[in-house]
Chains A and B, each alone.
Chain A
Amino acid sequence: GAGVSQSPRYKVAKRGQDVALRCDPISGHVSLFWYQQALGQGPEFLTYFQNEAQLDKSGLPSDRFFAERPEGSVSTLKIQRTQQEDSAVYLCASSLRRMQGVSQETQYFGPGTRLLVL
């Protein structure tokens, strides 16, 4: 079946531009995550949605970053007034159930969007 898809796969932005990155999770998956992966680093958690509710946005690096999932399926990560330090790969992941208790639901990752801010 279809996995997590992300678009665009590559995005070049001029410093100061706004960008919007899209994530299509696996159909029916309740939980959705965004991670940021800088060059040569591992992914770092940004935010978590359970259906349409954003339950954790503790990893968003600044108020220029905003994420939404209005209908509980597709999610958009928006970065306003992009800066060079925002250059990274942005990964989306989804999992079937809500993340609760000690059970560890597998997170399925998309291929990522590579953002380059000039």
Chain B
Amino acid sequence: GDSVTQMEGPVTLSEEAFLTINCTYTATGYPSLFWYVQYPGEGLQLLLKATKADDKGSNKGFEATYRKETTSFHLEKGSVQVSDSAVYFCALSVHSGGSNYKLTFGKGTLLTVNP
């Protein structure tokens, strides 16, 4: 079946540090890849996505590149801020049966950024 593995947290960084959260996947078909973020007390929000190999998704200074050869979609940010503290989820969906709505999520990585 489809699965997502992301690095275990928690991750604690100082402000302006470089962030990488690793994500690898296994998929039965050709997946679309996503990063979702959940800020304290809020719902999941789509952070960025990529739908084909070598695509780079980016938003709010975060980036992730769809690497088919390594089945990876690592999240990076050059300089984190305190406001980036949240739980980050890597996810995929696979086109199946005429639609691709089912999201398969990783377990999430808690990021804490200290001033």
Contact = CB atoms under 8 A, between A and B. Distances in A.
A73 interface: no
B99 A42 contact: no
Given A43-B44, A91-B44, A109-B45, A33 B101 contact: yes
Interface in B59-107: 89, 91, 93, 95, 98-107
A3 interface: yes
Contacts, number: 63
Contacts of A102: 51, 95, 100
A102 B103 CA distance: 14
Given A31-B101, A33-B101, A107 B46 contact: yes
Contacts of A72: none
A100 interface: yes
Given A40-B107, A104-B93, A111 B101 contact: no
Nearest to B33: A104
A104 B32 contact: yes
B85 to A, nearest CB: 17
B99 A100 contact: yes
Interface residues on A, range: 20 to 34
A42 B106 contact: yes
Given A31-B101, A42-B4, A43-B103, A3 B43 contact: yes
Nearest to A99: B101
Nearest to B43: A109
A104 B100 contact: yes
B108 to A, nearest CB: 6
The 6 closest A-B pairs by CB, nearest first: A42-B105, A99-B101, A109-B43, A109-B44, A99-B99, A111-B43
Given A35-B103, A100-B98, A100-B99, 11 more contacts: A44-B105, A45-B103, A56-B101, A99-B100, A101-B98, A104-B49, A105-B101, A108-B43, A109-B36, A109-B44, A111-B42
